A and B are shown apart, each in its own frame.
Chain A
Amino acid sequence: MILVFSIFPLLFSLVLSFVNWDLSRLSGGIRFVGLHNFAELFTDHRFWNTAKVTAIFVVCGVILQYVVGLSIALLLNQNVRFRRFFRVVFLMPMMLTPAAVGYLGRMLFDETQGPVNDLIKHLGGPIIPWLSNSVLALPTLILTDTWEWVPFMIIVLLAGLQSLPPDVFEAASVDGASTFQVFRRITFPMLLPTTVTVMLIRGLEAFKLFDIVAVMTGGGPGNATESVTWYAYLTALTFGRLGYASAIAYILLVMIVIFSLVFLRVMRDRIAATQ
């Protein structure tokens, strides 16, 4: 039954992507147009822009989150006090409603009323137009997303660190290896499988980028931060073109599958090379 439930929407939206269907005239108004939607998609500059925005968001966001998350997981993996306090606090951002997080981002990065620019001003920097500049808006979204999702990286990487066998590290310290050597030669390679998992999961999630775009920028300025999901939503509900929206959603699915396959292939080679 689960099979039926899950496969039906998938097939249905595939069928949808081959038709022309107007949301305002649900009964009737369906016209089979074959590959026309996809053909249109390939020449749609607005769509290619959303694909680029989404790709930048995924790649930069996931790498940034991984670096920060791994650093904090390494710090927490030592014998520190207040451990429980840190763990609860570090977990918190990822549990919060993304729509609310989007607002929080807007408040914090506000040009004149936000504390981030205030801090920069006190340090002697200029006023930065975080969200109203078309170059900076996307990085600002990435920063907000990073704030929310570093916790996920911390949790999984910390669990990965704790499951590494302790005797290897003892042997290394007996041999007089420095902390940095231990990290580069032992910890990092042994953590690679976990790395692959977290990056893949986070990457798949990041492709769905929607909530914070809707709340923080509405796709703007211009269409500098329009994500694929945002564009599909606009196409379906604002422009009322269900078939075309389905085609967009399907291309997103294809993008995700390609991303996962390429990523897994590259990482498998890396893992094979280190062992």
Chain B
Amino acid sequence: MSLTKTVRRRAWRTVTYVLLFLWAFIALFPLYWLLITSFKQPIAVFQGPKYLPWIDFQPTLNAWKFLLTGPNHAAVLRDWRNSAIEAISSAVLAVSIGSMAGYALTRFSYKIRFLKWKNKDIAFWIISQRMLPPVVVVLPFLIMYRVVGLVDTYLGMILAYTVFNLPFAVWIMRDFFASLPLDLEESALIEGASRFKAFRLIVIPLAAPGLVATFLFCMMFAWNDYLFALMLTFSRASTIPMYIAGEGSQSYGPQWWYLSALSMMAVVPMMIVAVFVERFISRGLVVGAIK
């Protein structure tokens, strides 16, 4: 009895590992494919799938050279830099405003008389913004921006992404501040510190992990966005997803080796972010807020 039980448990463990590694393979293989394709020569792409560098095909740096020094390198680098600037600035803005709003929503009580709303309702209203399909929001943005001249500017894109990310930032930070102990803050207030000083010197350092996690998420959303960039930019402030999408619709057909290198440029920063974000997720920081 106990013998068959151990055998069965062993078998189950093996199945578990096989399945987990299978999914790890499914998750990683496309990334591997992206990486090797960016080192392929056109001929190695057209001859049908080749899997192993040096064995199946001779890797070259041509695609990367073309990307970084070729005739379009200025546009590529500009879009990459734009992506970075817009993602980072909007994430900083969203986190700073979002943390203040989140803090206020946990420490003070508000009432909106004519709607009979309290904090909880305000918070729900804010997060409900996130559920709107962006296409509903982006058309008015387009018209407003045309009128005030914000189309295709950094400021316009940063503002758009900040508005887009704020609900998420407020929601997470509110959840996070609610879980922080009150006494340190209160003793600072008794010692005569102002609210803002207490917030800056005591609450912010305590909330640092939450702030970092929120920052990374907001940055990811802005970096990965395509719809806003497509609608609101065309050249000066356009971003790397725009460049990728534009390259693929050329009349001579997509050039996979080149597109792969380009995609790598978009994807690698986010892979690094993923490694950091995982740490926060496994500590249960963000998941509570998603609910």
Q: Which residues of A contact B259 (CB under 8 A)?
A: 103
Query: Closest residue to A114 on the B side, CB-wise?
Result: B49
B137–A86 CB distance below 8 A: no
B20–A72 CB distance below 8 A: yes
Q: Which residues of B contact A211 (CB under 8 A)?
A: 226-227, 241
Within 8 A of A (CB), among B126-168: 126, 129, 131-137, 139-144, 146-147, 163, 166-167
B245–A99 CB distance below 8 A: yes
B136–A10 CB distance below 8 A: yes
Inter-chain CA distance A100–B264, complex, in Å, is 8
B245–A104 CB distance below 8 A: no
Whether, in the assembled complex, B223 has its beta carbon less than 8 Å from a beta carbon of chain A, the answer is yes
Q: Mark A145-172, 1 if CB is under 8 A from B, else 0.
A: 0010001000110010000000000000
Whether, in the assembled complex, B273 has its beta carbon less than 8 Å from a beta carbon of chain A, the answer is yes
B49–A100 CB distance below 8 A: no
B136–A96 CB distance below 8 A: no
Whether, in the assembled complex, B263 has its beta carbon less than 8 Å from a beta carbon of chain A, the answer is yes
Whether, in the assembled complex, B196 has its beta carbon less than 8 Å from a beta carbon of chain A, the answer is no
Query: Closest residue to B287 on the A side, CB-wise?
Result: A159
Whether, in the assembled complex, A253 has its beta carbon less than 8 Å from a beta carbon of chain B, the answer is yes
Inter-chain CA distance A216–B240, complex, in Å, is 17
Shortest beta-carbon distance, A238 to chain B, in Å?
Answer: 12
Shortest beta-carbon distance, B282 to chain A, in Å?
Answer: 6
| Inter-chain contact total with CB atoms closer than 8 Å | 213
- A72-B20, A75-B16, A113-B45 given; A92·B27 CB < 8 A: yes
Main secondary structure of the interface of A (DSSP, over half): helix
Of the residues A6, A104, A159, contact of B30 by C-beta under 8 Å: A104
B46–A113 CB distance below 8 A: yes
The interface size of chain A toward B, counting residues with CB under 8 Å, comes to 75
Q: Which residues of B contact A100 (CB under 8 A)?
A: 34, 241, 244, 263, 266-267
Q: Which residues of A contact B141 (CB under 8 A)?
A: 9
Q: Which residues of A contact B192 (CB under 8 A)?
A: none
B231–A237 CB distance below 8 A: yes
The interface size of chain B toward A, counting residues with CB under 8 Å, comes to 78
Whether, in the assembled complex, B53 has its beta carbon less than 8 Å from a beta carbon of chain A, the answer is no
Of the residues B33, B48, B136, B224, contact of A252 by C-beta under 8 Å: B136
Whether, in the assembled complex, B77 has its beta carbon less than 8 Å from a beta carbon of chain A, the answer is no
Whether, in the assembled complex, A192 has its beta carbon less than 8 Å from a beta carbon of chain B, the answer is no
B48–A118 CB distance below 8 A: yes
Q: Which residues of A contact B17 (CB under 8 A)?
A: 80
Surface stretch bound by B, among A39-47, A130-138, A228-236: A228-236
B290–A107 CB distance below 8 A: no
Query: Closest residue to B47 on the A side, CB-wise?
Result: A113
Inter-chain CA distance A72–B31, complex, in Å, is 20
Whether, in the assembled complex, B71 has its beta carbon less than 8 Å from a beta carbon of chain A, the answer is no
Whether, in the assembled complex, B278 has its beta carbon less than 8 Å from a beta carbon of chain A, the answer is yes
25 residue pairs of the A-B complex, CB under 8 angstroms, read A6-B125, A13-B136, A84-B278, A86-B24, A87-B282, A89-B24, A90-B23, A97-B226, A97-B240, A97-B241, A97-B244, A98-B224, A98-B226, A100-B34, A104-B34, A113-B48, A115-B49, A159-B287, A159-B288, A211-B226, A218-B249, A229-B135, A229-B227, A232-B135, A242-B143
B residues neighboring A (CB under 8 Å): 16-17, 19-20, 23-24, 26-31, 33-34, 37, 45-46, 48-49, 51, 101, 125-126, 129, 131-137, 139-144, 146-147, 163, 166-167, 170, 220, 223-224, 226-227, 230-231, 240-242, 244-245, 248-249, 254, 256, 259-260, 263, 266-267, 270-271, 273-275, 277-278, 281-282, 284, 287-288, 290-291
